């Protein structure tokens, strides 16, 4: 299986980098995982709705350029559908089978994702109605992908 995570912004916190590296290493047993960081737009708040939209569209252009053809696209957004871990495993397994094992997950920047990304997505996934820092969401996502892979392969979850 090929899994690509496209995330806006550069990860700076060493504890997040350590955790993500650990789960990336564990996921190698199940296929190829790559994380692509696209440049985030700098801004100073407060922002108007128009300024927010412009920033999100600039980031969206960078994201869209990193989505390979034939990949099944899952965008992370609060407005998406919530799944439990078994549901996420079913989604990954089903879509991985029907899309030649190629999935891309998209994590927006501090302002979220543009509507163009939501429209491009094949599936919009919500981890919670809560707002998480986008950097932390990378760790949460990759851990849940790892958990899903252990479920798919009927393996014990390694803590």
**CA neighbor of 74 nearest in space, from 87, 154, 13:** 87
pTM of the model: 0.95
Q: What pLDDT is stored for residue 151 in this prediction?
A: 97
Q: 10-59, pLDDT tens digit by residue?
A: 998 999 999 999 999 999 999 999 999 999 999 999 999 999 999 999 99
CB atoms within 10 A of CB 126: 15
Q: 107-139, pLDDT tens digit by residue?
A: 999 999 999 999 999 999 999 999 899 999 999
Structural domains in the chain, sorted by start = 2-152 (3.40.1280.10)
Contacts of 54 (CB under 8 A, 6+ apart): none
């Amino acid at each position: 299986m090929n899994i690509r995570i496209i995330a806006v912004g550069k990860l700076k916190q060493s504890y997040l980098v350590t955790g993500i590296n650990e789960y990336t290493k564990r996921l190698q047993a199940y296929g190829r995982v790559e994380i692509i960081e696209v440049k985030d737009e700098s801004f100073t708040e407060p922002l108007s709705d128009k300024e927010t939209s412009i920033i999100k569209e600039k980031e969206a252009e960078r994201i869209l350029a990193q989505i390979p053809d034939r990949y099944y696209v899952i965008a992370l957004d609060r407005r998406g559908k919530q799944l439990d871990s078994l549901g996420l495993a079913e989604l990954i397994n089903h879509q991985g089978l029907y899309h030649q094992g190629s999935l891309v997950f998209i994590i927006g920047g501090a302002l979220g994702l543009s509507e163009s990304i939501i429209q491009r997505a094949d599936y919009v996934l919500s981890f919670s109605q809560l707002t998480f820092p986008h950097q932390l969401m990378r760790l949460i996502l990759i851990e849940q992908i790892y958990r899903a892979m252990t479920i798919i392969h009927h393996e014990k979850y390694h803590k």
